[in-house]
Amino acid sequence: EAGVAQSPRYKIIEKRQSVAFWCNPISGHATLYWYQQILGQGPKLLIQFQNNGVVDDSQLPKDRFSAERLKGVDSTLKIQPAKLEDSAVYLCASSQKTGPGELFFGEGSRLTVL
Amino acid sequence: AQSVAQPEDQVNVAEGNPLTVKCTYSVSGNPYLFWYVQYPNRGLQFLLKYITGDNLVKGSYGFEAEFNKSQTSFHLKKPSALVSDSALYFCAVRDKSNYQLIWGAGTKLIIKP
């Protein structure tokens, strides 16, 4: 079974530029999560989708971050314009359903903003 | 407020010795409890979970965890540590009322040969 795919693995941009990350979850997983992980900290949920609907985006900085999951499968997270403090690893995860099921994570996309 | 605490930023253990990584939580009701491991430059990997039933759950790579309801703890354990166990370990708790997943800050486990 293929795992959660993310790209790119690494991205370096200057502040005020834009960047997009892509995630393809495990086949059949209805729930998709985007997390931000700053070095030395635990993951922080940015947005959670159930199929193509948003379940929780309360911690997403909506003035600069956006995410979509148009067909209920893969998803894109965009940052525009980027700030220095956006430097982090962006983790995508999926699960079969919300509740007792565990999350399966991708390798992450490391963003460096200069 | 709901929270998960991993009181130790770092745990050092000699290879072959038992290890414990601590986790306590403050969540209403009976939550779902998880442990994940993160190796350098990798995503998080699921280790084990407690849903209901036996308080001692067994997971991947020889790890186990004990749910203690009275102490609201879910400590991760392994009888004999390996150098390859060195990694960052995260405890997470899912509130059954709203399914929000709450993460601890992580504990760095260092196993010395």
Question: How do residues A15-53 score in pLDDT, each as one tens digit?
Answer: 999 999 999 999 999 999 999 999 888 899 999 999 889
Please report the beta strands in chain B, taking only residues with DSSP state E, as ranges in sequence order.
Answer: 3-5, 10-14, 19-21, 24-26, 32-38, 44-50, 56-58, 64-68, 73-78, 87-94, 101-103, 107-112
CB contact under 8 A, B99 and A98: yes
Judge if the upstream peptide bond of residue B31 is cis by omega within 30 degrees of 0. no
Residue of B4, B38, B93, B98 to mutate when probing chain A, most A C-beta within 10 A? B38
CB contact under 8 A, B49 and A108: no
Give me the pLDDT at residue A101, please.
81
| Cα Rg, chain B, nearest whole Å | 13
Asked if the model's pLDDT at residue B43 lies above 70, the reply is yes
Give the tokens for residue A60. Answer: 């997403």
Burial class (CB in 10 A: 0-12, 13-18, 19+), A29: middle
Give me the pLDDT at residue A1, please.
66
CB contact under 8 A, B44 and A56: no
| pLDDT band at residue B27 using 50, 70 and 90 as cut-offs | confident
Contact A105/B at CB under 8 A: yes
Q: What is the mean pLDDT of residues A45-65?
A: 93
Q: What is the mean pLDDT of residues A44-70?
A: 93
Q: Tell me how close the Cα of A91 comes to any Cα of chain B, in angstroms.
A: 7
Q: What is the mean pLDDT of residues A45-69?
A: 94
**Of B93, B104, B101, which Cα lies nearest the Cα of B30?**
B93
**Opening angle at CA A106, ends B27 and B40, nearest 5:** 85
